[in-house]
């Protein structure tokens, strides 16, 4: 499976760069490239498993890149953001950014649309070190290990991103019984796939890539997803969700924010949209929340 995100990816970058409310601005190149690779990988994984719920791929870092998160819906609507808490060098390696003290983690969450009462989303978490305890330096190595450990699936990933494209190639061995040659075929296809260079993945069209890698193989090609079935940027934030978050803070905390400023302002990390609640809005939120849950303790 091969994905090349152009408009979707540049929209994510454009929104981040123009999000002045958080004061963060555009990503440093190494952060951008890691996030782009995660976006490509999460899109491939969601299309591959055909799961009826959101797939959330996260790297929880212990360095300047504290969090990189991608959320992909079953219809491939997706959003992504990264939280950077310190300076990132232009030539920073992955482990310098996210695995400074070897506490970095990669988490994949599958959150079903239809949940049974009390059902929790499924989550798998792996450290960012290999079997020898050495920090891993590529997003693809981390995810390949995740798929092996958590899903027992042999997976090969080639990922690349720059300021215009986030792209990825996924090769996965299909489950098969009692066929010795399946291993051999997978190994051969995997090695061919891994020979794809970053520049090739970023610059060549799909036909050329497939031909370069697999010209000696019989390739049966499927129609690419188009328009409304194709991956695209969409954010699921809303004023209601932000309101619930403010209620979750509690009345005392909300009032202490309002004592210092006229509004509570919340900007969405994913799309940059700003939500503003003044003192009247906030008072209404808490009245409404108490009417809805008469049994809950009154904030003091
Ligand atoms: Zn949003």
Give the pLDDT of residue 49: 87
Q: Is 19 exposed, middle or buried (0-12, 13-18, 19+ CB in 10 A)?
A: buried
SS3 of 122, please? strand
Contact 146, 172 (CB under 8 A): no
**Minimum mean pLDDT range among 41-45, 112-116, 135-139:** 112-116
pLDDT at 3: 96
For residues 254 and 151, state if they share a domain. Answer: no
**Distance (Å) from CA 8 to ligand 1 centroid:** 15
Distance 273 CA to ligand 1 centre (A): 6
pLDDT score, position 50:
76
Q: Domain residues for 54?
A: 2-233
What is the whole-number distance in angstroms between the Cα of residue 102 and the centre of ligand 1?
Answer: 31
- DSSP-assigned states of every residue in 24-87: --SPPHHHHHHHHHHHHHHHHHHHHHT-SEEEEEEEE-SSSEEEEEEEE-TT-EEEEEEEE-S-
CA neighbor of 43 nearest in space, from 11, 12, 79:
79
Report the CATH number at residue 269. Answer: 3.90.1280.10
Higher pLDDT, 192 or 20: 192
Given phi > 0 = left and psi -120 to 50 = alpha, else beta, which region is 69? beta
Of the candidates 273, 265, 227, the residue with the CA atom closest to the CA atom of residue 245: 265
**Claim to verify: residue 190 and residue 279 sit in the same structural domain:** no
Domain boundary pick from 191, 206, 233: 233
Q: Could you tell me what percent of the chain has a pLDDT over 70? A: 94
213 alpha carbon – ligand 1 mean position (Å): 39
Distance CA 153, CA 172 (A): 7
Mark 38-62 as b/e (b = at least 16 C-beta within 10 Å). bbbbbbbbbbeeebebbbbbbbbbb
CA of 65 to the centre of ligand 1 (A): 20
- Residue 122 CA, ligand 1 centroid: distance in Å: 24
Q: Which residues are bridge partners to 199 per DSSP?
A: none
Between 37 and 290, name the one with better pLDDT: 37
Residue 299 lies in a domain: no
CA of 233 to the centre of ligand 1 (A): 10
Mean pLDDT across the chain, nearest whole number? 91
Range with top average pLDDT, 64-68, 183-187, 266-270: 64-68
- Please check whether residues 175 and 34 belong to one and the same domain: yes
Total number of domains constituting the chain:
2
Q: How far is Cα 70 from Cα 54, in angstroms, rounded to an integer?
A: 10
Encode pLDDT of 218-273 as tens digits: 989 999 988 888 999 999 999 999 999 999 999 999 999 999 988 999 989 999 99
User: Residue 299's pLDDT is what?
Assistant: 46
What confidence score (pLDDT) does residue 300 get? 43
Residue 193 and residue 80 share a domain: yes
If one counts every other C-beta atom within 10 angstroms of the C-beta of residue 246, the result is 21
Percent of the chain with pLDDT over 90: 76
pLDDT number for residue 178: 62
Stretch 117-146: mean pLDDT, rounded?
A: 93
pLDDT tens digit string along 7-22? 999 999 999 998 766 5
**What per-residue confidence (pLDDT) applies to 134?**
93
Domain C-terminal end among 185, 210, 233: 233
Q: What is the pTM of this model?
A: 0.91
Q: How far is the CA of 68 from the centre of ligand 1 (A)?
A: 16
Domain end: 188, 206, 233, which one?
A: 233
Residue range 293-297: average pLDDT? 56
Whether pLDDT at 80 is above 90: yes
Q: What is the distance in A from the centroid of ligand 1 to the CA of 237?
A: 4
Residues contacting 193, CB < 8 A, separation 6+: 156, 158, 169, 171, 213
Measure 274 CA to ligand 1 centroid, in angstroms: 8
């Amino acid at each position: 499976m091969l994905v090349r995100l152009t408009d979707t990816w540049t929209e994510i970058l454009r929104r981040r760069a123009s999000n002045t409310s958080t004061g963060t601005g555009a990503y440093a190149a190494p952060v951008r490239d890691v996030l782009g690779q995660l976006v490509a990988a999460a899109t491939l994984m969601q299309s591959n498993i055909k799961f009826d719920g959101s797939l959330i791929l996260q790297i929880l870092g212990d360095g300047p890149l504290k969090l990189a998160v991608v959320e992909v819906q079953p219809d491939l609507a997706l959003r992504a953001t990264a939280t950077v808490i310190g300076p990132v060098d232009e030539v920073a390696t992955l482990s310098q950014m996210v695995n400074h003290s070897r506490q970095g983690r990669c988490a994949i969450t599958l959150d079903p649309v239809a949940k049974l009462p009390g059902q929790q989303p499924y989550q798998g978490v792996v450290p960012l070190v290999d079997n020898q305890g050495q920090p891993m330096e590529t997003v693809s190595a981390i995810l390949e290990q995740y798929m092996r450990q958590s899903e027992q699936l042999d997976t090969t990933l080639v990922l690349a991103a720059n300021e215009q494209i986030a792209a990825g190639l996924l090769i996965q061995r299909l489950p098969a019984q009692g066929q010795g040659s399946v291993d051999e075929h997978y190994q051969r296809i995997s090695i061919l796939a891994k020979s794809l260079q970053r520049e090739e993945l970023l610059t060549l069209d799909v036909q050329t890539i497939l031909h370069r890698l697999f010209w000696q193989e019989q390739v049966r090609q499927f129609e690419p997803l188009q328009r409304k079935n194709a991956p695209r940027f969409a954010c699921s934030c809303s004023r209601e969700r932000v309101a619930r978050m403010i209620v979750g803070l509690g009345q005392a905390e909300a009032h202490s924010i309002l004592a210092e400023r006229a509004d509570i302002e919340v900007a969405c990390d994913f799309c940059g949209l700003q939500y503003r609640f003044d003192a009247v809005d906030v008072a209404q939120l808490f009245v409404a929340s108490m009417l809805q849950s008469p049994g809950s303790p009154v904030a003091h």
